[in-house]
Amino acid sequence: MRLLDAPDPGFTSGCVLVPTMGALHAGHAALIARARSIADQRRARVVATVFVNPTQFNESTDFERYPRTLREDLALCERAGADAVFAPASHVVYPPDTTIPTPLLPKVATLPGLEDAHRPGHFAGVCQVVSRLFDLTSPGVGVFGEKDWQQLQVIRAMTIAQFRPIDIVPAETVREPDGLAMSSRNRLLDPESRERAAGIHRALARAAAQRSGPAEAERVLAESLADAGILPEYAVVRDARTLLPPKAAHDGPCRALVAARVGGVRLIDNVPWQPT
Ligand code: PAF
């Protein structure tokens, strides 16, 4: 496996790209394994990127305490089947004296009541860095995790709006045995918060089983989170693609989505929701 710290278009062009911020875990290994199977069909390479992007953090303390574990990350990428890891220094992504544009944000990035309400500017940073990583590596496919459901829709919409010939492929969320979605932030949870955090998935599972209507599912979600001692930033049912609130008679695929701080750590998760 190669470690790239500068763009190498001859090696990465047409690759299956797995952008990450490092601190990799089994969820990322599953993204890379998914990328491997797509790449084998296309006779392409798998390239994972490791870059903690400062422009998508709302709080500098959050950026500073984000775990950085490059040595372990490289070992995980190799085991999971990556051909290369692109781990650029900040000046490669954001060269001094050069303005890296922030792409036009798709509508799905700024909908009221979701991420933008709690992390203003976050998706501007995500779109900026993903666009930049696409420019630096020229992939044919980008693999993104479903745990960040809104991010997945934002990147999909941005890629289409930019007419990029890149397929955006989702990969399912990988969970701990008690249901907690794997996340690099989980390692910041103290033991009491870690136990409580499992309540997010319990609440989502109960809401998914309540299929009479979105309002009823949201009520179950709120109640279950309260039972677990979790006060969410949002806990909603939305259309899976547009992320707009579904109409009462809506029959398309939806998603139940939660963001909550548990023991000071911000966690997000979601599950499919479909009315009967
Ligand atoms: O999902 C993430 O880890 C990040 O938002 C991403 C897509 C790698 C951009 O920094």
**CA of 145, closest atom in ligand 1:** 1
* pLDDT score of 251: 74
Q: Which of 20, 28, 269 to mutate to test the pocket of ligand 1 (most atoms within 8 A of CB)?
A: 20
What's the whole-number mean pLDDT along residues 202-212? 95
**Average pLDDT of the segment spanning 176-205:** 97
CA angle 106, 252, 241 (to 5 degrees): 15
Q: What is the pLDDT of residues 14-70, one digit of tens each?
A: 999 999 999 999 999 999 999 999 999 999 999 999 999 999 998 888 899 888 999
Give residue 133's pLDDT. Answer: 98
β-pairing, 46-50 with 16-20?
parallel
pLDDT band with cut points at 50, 70 and 90 for residue 276: confident
pLDDT at residue 62 in the model: 86
Question: What does pTM read for this prediction?
Answer: 0.96
| Residue at token pair 């392409």 | 44
Type of residue numbered 141:
V
Residue 1 has pLDDT above 90, yes or no: yes
Q: Name which residue sits closest to atom 3 of ligand 1, judged by CA.
A: 20
* Predicted local confidence at residue 233, as pLDDT: 98
Q: Which two tokens stand for residue 54?
A: 């400062």
Ligand 1 centroid to Cα of residue 39, in Å, is 20
Q: Identify the pLDDT of residue 247.
A: 83
The residues annotated as belonging to the active site are 28
